[in-house]
Amino acid sequence: MLIAGFPAGAWGTNCYVVATGQGAECIVVDPGMEATDGVEQVVRENKLKPVAVVLTHGHIDHMFSVLPVCGTYDATAWIHPDDRHLLTDPMAGLNPASARMLIGVDHEFAEPDDVAELKDGLSLELAGLTLTVDHTPGHTKGSVTFTTPYDGPEDVPAVLFSGDVLFAGSIGRTDLPGGDHPAMLHTLATKILPMRDEIVVLPGHGGQTTIGREKATNPYLQDLEIQNL
């Protein structure tokens, strides 16, 4: 299995290119600001063919480059319907401080030619990969995570692309438009805590971690576990 990730743009958003191996079709997860060159490099070096862009949510730092990436490779964009409006109106998901980071940016925001909608429990078969979709609201109304079996060491059963739901040592903020802290806590309790400890977490920002490590050290998950005892 091939997973190439790199931080993109001023927000340092992790973009991932995922394939079964070199010379195969691939998917792109969260192509944010200035992600196009990184995607092109990974695709070229590994002789890949992008067939889909999957978005963990609609915030601009995760979907800034969805239009050029989909257009270049004739790929389908997948997003939850609750965040679909952000593809054409990204300012609706920003606070004034975040919006100021876009002053002087000349960029077109529009839906790609082919957009498909995600839903909770959906099993996506893309590029030879199986992605299980979990609707995980809290950071945004349409936040989702993607879990895929990992074809590698036996002690890693799966990989979780967590977007801005779960980070190493923290969780996504809920104070932006569309954020909902009680919904985030419910998401963590019902979607994240039940996951196997060995699952590797590839978050939207920062370094990778595991579910087990977060259960043991992440204060937000520890508080939830204590409440559920």
**DSSP string covering 38-54, please?**
HHHHHHHHHT-EEEEEE
Reported as type and span, the H/E element at residue 36 is helix 36-46
Domain residue limits, the chain: 2-228
Contact (CB, 8 A) for 168 and 210: no
Superfamily of domain 2-228, CATH level 4 = Ribonuclease Z/Hydroxyacylglutathione hydrolase-like (3.60.15.10)
Reported as type and span, the H/E element at residue 219 is helix 219-228
Tokens of 139: 């950071």
Coil, helix or strand at residue 140:
coil
Q: pLDDT tens digits, the chain, 229 residues: what are they? A: 999 999 998 889 999 999 999 999 999 999 999 999 999 999 999 999 999 999 999 999 999 999 999 999 999 999 999 999 999 998 888 877 676 666 556 667 889 999 999 999 999 999 999 999 999 999 999 999 999 999 877 788 999 999 999 999 999 999 999 999 999 999 999 999 999 999 999 999 999 999 999 999 999 998 786 555 4
Rounded CA-CA distance 69/76 in Å is 10
| 158-163 and 200-203 strand pairing | parallel
Full-model pTM: 0.93
